[in-house]
Amino acid sequence: MGIAGLIADLINLLVLLVILAGLIRMILRGRREMTVIFYIFSTASLSFSYIYWLVYDAMWPQERLVFAANEICEWAHFLMCGTVLAYMFKSITRIDWGEVFGVTILVAVNVALWIAWTGEWLQDILTGLCIAYWAYRLAVVLKESKSSSLKEWCGLLAGFVIALGLQVASFFKGAPVDALYLASFLILAIIVVIIHIKTIRTLVRAEEYEDYRRAFCLACLIVILTGSGMYMSSEPYYTIFLCSMGLPYIYSYIAMRKGADLK
């Protein structure tokens, strides 16, 4: 891990620990809501991931094992974020098979690419399954909460598919790999920046609980897209995505805290 990655990891961990302290403070001050409690567990698991990774890298710098516990921490985080969304929108009980199909295809392509890059098929499939659960929950609630218009959805999907396509193209013999990686990074980065702006705007203009709930969902979408960008990028693009990983957690914390005040 480079020094930039190390600093980014430390900053992200610090952000998560501050958020965790804030969430626990909410509980201690009487805001005993299930979404907050589930989110505490979710944030704790991601903090564990960063802690494990930093300690592991310091203690066993030369060892790269097939199975590391920081991946288990990430699975816990993905599944628990899905649970937070499921509980936040507990009125939605139906299964949307269209969303299931769409999410499965996108995640399957991602997983196939990860396996092609790393060869670690077991944890890539398991990571994919956990992300798929979260992404499915997110897709359903984003649709239900009308967080985005149909046009925005199509744009997001098209951009993401093009970015994936460019990554796939980089596997062909004689392909301009560097240019394809750059193009893929730029497309994903533009999408993520647009959703950052949309989330901040939603948070600033929020007046009701529903608005904060919508902002929380958009923050989750940023995490998934930034995570996908990280997993499919090499240095320096990986570090750029990693550096921005703390921001959506700040948005989600603000959304949860202010939303709890209004509830």
Partner 1 sequence: MIYAENILLCIAIPLGISLLFAKNQVRRYVLSFILGMVICLLSAYISGFLSIVTGYGELKTSIFLSPIIEETMKVFPLLFFLVMFDEDNTSIVSTSIAIGAGFATFENCCYILNFGAGNLTYVIIRGMSVGVMHIVSIYALSIWFILSIRLKAFSFPNAIGALSLSMSFHAIYNLLVSKPGITSIIGYTMPILTAILLSFLRSRLLPVEEEENT
Spatial contact of 136 and 99, defined as CB atoms under 8 Å apart: yes
Spatial contact of 201 and 221, defined as CB atoms under 8 Å apart: no
Spatial contact of 11 and 246, defined as CB atoms under 8 Å apart: yes
- Which CB, 58 or 158, lies closer to partner 1? 58
Q: Can you list the alpha helix ranges (DSSP code H) found in 60-149?
A: 69-88, 97-118, 121-144
Q: Would you state the structure tokens that stand for residue 145, as one six-digit string?
A: 């909460």
Q: Please report, as a single letter, which amino acid is at residue 109.
A: V
Residue ranges that bind partner 1, judged by CB under 8 A: 24, 27-28, 32-34, 37-38, 41-42, 44-45, 48-49, 51-52, 55-56, 58-59, 63, 65-70, 72-73, 75-80, 82-83, 86-87, 90, 130, 133
Q: Considering the complex, what minimum distance in angstroms separates the CB of residue 62 from partner 1?
A: 13
Q: Considering the complex, what minimum distance in angstroms separates the CB of residue 59 from partner 1?
A: 6
Distances, alpha carbon 133 to alpha carbons 20, 90, 99, 244, 257, in Å: 23, 15, 11, 23, 25
- Which CB, 52 or 181, lies closer to partner 1? 52
- Which CB, 50 or 160, lies closer to partner 1? 50
Q: Considering the complex, what minimum distance in angstroms separates the CB of residue 171 from partner 1?
A: 30
φ/ψ of residue 173, rounded to 5: -65, 135
Q: Would you state the structure tokens that stand for residue 229, as one six-digit string?
A: 């960008």
Q: Considering the complex, what minimum distance in angstroms separates the CB of residue 107 from partner 1?
A: 14
Q: Considering the complex, what minimum distance in angstroms separates the CB of residue 176 from partner 1?
A: 39
Q: What angle do CA 184, 196, 94 make, to 5 degrees?
A: 90
- CB atoms near residue 170 (< 10 Å): 20
Return the residue matching tokens 């929020």. 206
- Which CB, 42 or 202, lies closer to partner 1? 42
Q: Considering the complex, what minimum distance in angstroms separates the CB of residue 6 from partner 1?
A: 17
- Which CB, 123 or 239, lies closer to partner 1? 123
- Which CB, 40 or 113, lies closer to partner 1? 40
